[in-house]
Amino acid sequence: MSPHAIAVLRQGVTPEQVGRWVTALAGAVEIDRGIDPVGDLDPRRRWASPAGAGAVVQIQGHQTEALRSAIPAHARLGILLVERRELWRDGAAAPTPGDQGGLTQISFVAARPGADFARRYARHIDIVRTEHPGVAHYRQDVVVDRVDTDTMLDDTAAVSQLWFATESDFADRYYASDASPAIVRTDVEAFLDYEGTWSVLTRAHHR
pLDDT digits (tens, 9 = 90+) for 152-185: 899 999 999 999 988 889 888 999 999 998 999 8
Task: Say yes or no to pLDDT of 80 above 80.
Answer: yes
Task: Say yes or no to pLDDT of 51 above 70.
Answer: no
56's enclosing H/E stretch is strand 53-60
Task: Say yes or no to pLDDT of 99 above 70.
Answer: no
Q: What is the CATH number of the domain that holds 68?
A: 3.30.70.100
| pLDDT for the residue numbered 68 | 96
Give the residue, 41 or 144, on which the prediction is more confident: 144
Task: Say yes or no to pLDDT of 97 above 60.
Answer: no
* Among 33, 10, 16, CA closest to 201: 33
Give the residue, 131 or 49, on which the prediction is more confident: 131
- Res. 41 pLDDT band, cuts 50 70 90: low
Give the residue, 137 or 95, on which the prediction is more confident: 137
Residues 108, 141: contact at Cβ < 8 Å?
A: no
Task: Say yes or no to pLDDT of 63 above 70.
Answer: yes
* Among 167, 143, 181, CA closest to 62: 143
Residues 81, 149: contact at Cβ < 8 Å?
A: no
Average pLDDT over residues 125-136: 91
72's enclosing H/E stretch is none
Instruction: Provide the domain limits for residue 67.
Output: 2-206
143's enclosing H/E stretch is strand 135-147
Using a pLDDT cut of 90, give the percent of the chain over it.
55
Task: Say yes or no to pLDDT of 35 above 90.
Answer: no
- 61-88 exposure pattern, b = at least 16 Cβ within 10 A, e = fewer: ebbeebbeebbeeebbbbbbbbebbebe
| pLDDT for the residue numbered 42 | 55
| pLDDT for the residue numbered 91 | 47
The number of folded domains in the chain is 1
Q: Strand, coil or helix: what is 51?
A: coil
Residues 191, 112: contact at Cβ < 8 Å?
A: yes
